[in-house]
Structure 1
Amino acid sequence: MDVNLARTFLMVTETGSFIHAARKMNLTQSTVSARIKGLEDQLGKPLFARSKAGAELTAAGEQFQKHALALVRIWQRAQLEVGISDQHSDHLAVGAPSMFWDALLLDWFASLRADTPQIALSASTGLSTALMQRLLEGTLDLAVLYRPRQPRGLMIEHLFDEEIVLVTSVLTPQRRHASDYLFIDWGPDFQQDHAAAFPERANPAISLDLGSMALDYMLANPCSGYFPARLVRPHIAAGRLRLTKRARKFTYPVYAVYPEARNEEAYEPILDSLRQFVTKHT
């Protein structure tokens, strides 16, 4: 299948309009319509319900959307790897939620780059479900995730246990107000455990779905909240944050996920490097 057909389909899906898709892609509307018609002919199903209001995905279109994304990603990866083949012997694509890049995986990337300069590296962030899908597609080589499910074809290996602790930027012990509490979203498991442990904090004054970026807010404002211990450890040592004693802690296992069918000779040094790095830095 021509990857341009998949790209055009995704643009119509994004904009909800053949006209807007044509403008964004710098094409004529008739070209966009012809591409979608050709795609529908190949698949034998209508992908969009057309109306004066625009274009909405049909049930078949919703099913095809994930495959179109996979086609485009695989093509982009092929272009990247062919393009770098004269400078690098291999390419490693790693995905993880944003919280794992700060104070961990970016530092591992630097170490891996120093040890194996012949390998090109790329990093992605996203939700666990999307990263797992990309592993199955073959557009990611490795992911680091909390409690992933294990679909056929993927290996899951425990790396370390993430401890999430309560810290405060109020450096002298004093009575805290509910308005000082900062809720940071560390994923569905934490949301569920936090709600069970602190029902009185069901509606916090400040809630941030920003992961590790919320640390900047805490360092600039007097408040308290839960953070992974590895993120706040340097700030506690420097006296910028204080660990709240006797507060409940939450612990979640972290796993490396990678294809079951893989080149052992190429993968094992990379996995060993990751294992050694997290052992030393967590």
Structure 2
Amino acid sequence: MTAAAPAAPSAGRSTGGTGGWPQGLLGRLVDDRADLRLTGLMRAAFGAIVIRHFWPTLTAGRLPPERFMAPWWDWLPVPGVDVYRLVLWAGVAAGGFMVIGLASRVASVVALASVLYLLVLDATAFSHNRAFLVWILFGLSLLPTGRAFALDAVLARRRGRAPSTVGYTWPVLLLRVVTSSVYLTSATTKLMNPDWVTGRVLWDRTLVAEDLIPAAFDGWVHQVLVSRWFFAVLAPAALATELFIGLGLWFRRTRWWAVGVAVVFHLAIE
């Protein structure tokens, strides 16, 4: 009578052996695996964001090297217009490849390098959303995002090598930490500012840009949009939204709600 073969380890989590990571939290953080097919959708979405990020600069009348630029470090040379435009096109092309999922990891790395390089070229143009994009692209470059919702996966199957969508989850955890910290930091710092909590900051900014309110919002809608009471309600709602997104990402039942709220939240800001 032959002995039964040992059960195969679960695809959701790797098992630690002799000399491997110790059992416990650290081992789980490093060794846990899960189905990562949805990261393919994330790759495509941020590929479109990369294109959106570069396109206004690429189509502008003057590129940044034609005006004042202040690199983060003195030793970092400022490129000429042609080189700068080449980096922009490389970023746009990488974003396009990310959208369709062709050479997904390479495209993510090129997009990361393009965004990061142009970010550190000019300290005067720094913005938190650009820095956040760098972190997201860094995380995507660590993930096997080309195994689903990608031409990479289609081509692999045609070659008879169906790619597994199971992979290590620690890059996802890294992205969750970064994303959550952005929203929670934003919300908590605003909570410490009474002018933010009461809506005065948003109200002042709206009054400064009142001329930019579309004509379609003339009349009573315009009056509401510039009224003090409107922002007294809007500001706490915005803070509650940021707190919900930052905390909701950590719980399975609220994670997709947090993602959906974040998408709507930023579309409303745009």
How would you bin the TM-score normalised by the shorter chain? Answer: under 0.3
> Would you tell me which structure has more helix in proportion to its own residues?
2
More RCO (CA 8 Å, sep 6+): 1
Give me the TM-score of the superposition, normalised by structure 2: 0.23
> Would you tell me which structure has more strand in proportion to its own residues?
1
Give me the TM-score of the superposition, normalised by structure 1: 0.22
